[in-house]
Amino acid sequence: MIENTTSVPFLVGSVFLFAGILMFVFPPKKINYLYGYRTTSSMKNLERWNFAQKLSSKLLMVFGILLLITGIIGLFFFSDQNVINTIGIVETILLAIFLFVKTEFDLKKKFGKTL
């Protein structure tokens, strides 16, 4: 049962949590194409950029914790590693989509539509 700790929810959850903490503690100060939440909307100006970095880092941390919880629940309720991994992959995809949709929606709500 302990060997299941290398499942998708644990690995991706750990990466999400680490990336969220990293972005929250060390947010990118300048708009760049390498590090941070980078979309056309978030890169329009520095105020949008900073807002998007703060929001997306918090969402990444929350989603990382959710995935870790999914992995723990999977250890107790599913004996088949494939079931845990499939649930983790589907959850990861849905959370990643939600992260972009939520951040873009909040950017649009706060700053208006970009041209």
Q: Name the domain count of the chain.
A: 1
pLDDT digits (tens, 9 = 90+) for 72-87: 888 888 778 888 889 8
Q: Quote the pLDDT of residue 1.
A: 43
Q: Quote the pLDDT of residue 53.
A: 97
- CA atoms in the 13 A half-sphere facing the CB of 79: 0
Instruction: Residue 107: name the closest of 60, 31, 62, 45 by CA.
Output: 45
Split at pLDDT 50, 70, 90, the class of 6 is low
d(CA 99, CA 23): 14
The answer to the question of residue 1 being in a domain is no
The answer to the question of residue 11 being in a domain is yes
Task: Please give the structure tokens belonging to residue 72.
Answer: 């723990």
pTM above 0.85? Answer: yes
The answer to the question of residue 98 being in a domain is yes
The parent domain of residue 23 ranges over: 7-111
